[in-house]
Amino acid sequence: MFQTWREEVARQGIPLIGATRSLGLLPEAVRQAEGRTAEYLTAFEEFFLRWLLTGLAAPRLPQPLQPQLSALSTSTVLGYMRGGGYVFCFPDISPIPSRDELREMIEDALRGAEAPEHLADWMDKVRADNAARNTITRYARLFDLQHYLRALHQRHHSVLHRRKSSVIQAFATFFQVSSDTIAGDLDVIDKRLGKEWFLATPGPASPNP
């Protein structure tokens, strides 16, 4: 490589285009290269991609591709998502870290910066170091439970009337939890929405629990 392109390297230096080219983020000057300059850049690019390098710090001093845990926001890949997350790149030449180490790396990449004000409470709940994050599973069950129960009562209220215990047992089996858990969930929903919330049709602005 250096023998073939010695004049270009002496004049322009070693290109650093391996990682950026693979991400489609080439500088304008590189995209517009022509003639022998274009051949020189392409040759180094193919060399970098073949050996999964981001470049060469110096001749015979390769820089391997490293895990990119904040390489691209989703707005770069999926413009309509407006920065709702990140796309991570883990090169196949890299050893996979332990589960805890990997989770910490991803956690730092995702939520290292301050969360938007309107999502701060939720971001705090989902942080890996929050021991109370397992409550998210209950929130999901509460949402499903109120949805299903509302739908069942709207269609079969007469059949379900005065059969709360049977309904609780059926949902306990469905969600694979105890009857006491479902009874507790229903108490939470009743306190928030009222005793016969399942008979009311929520409007578009009514929040679910």
pLDDT digits (tens, 9 = 90+) for 155-208: 898 898 889 999 999 999 999 999 999 999 999 999 998 888 888 655 444 444
Pick the more confident residue, 77 or 37: 37
Lowest-pLDDT range of 6-10, 28-32, 58-62: 28-32
How big is the CA angle at 32 (ends 31 and 35), to the nearest 5 degrees? Answer: 110
Q: What pLDDT does residue 186 have?
A: 94
Whole-prediction pTM = 0.46
Mean pLDDT for the chain? 75
Q: What is the mean pLDDT of residues 55-64?
A: 82
* Tens-place pLDDT, residues 81-129: 445 566 677 776 666 778 877 777 777 767 666 666 776 777 677 666 6
In order, the DSSP letters of 96-141 are PPPHHHHHHHHHHHHHSSPPPGGGHHHHHHH-TT-GGGGHHHHHHH
User: What is the rounded average pLDDT of the residues 25-52?
Assistant: 74
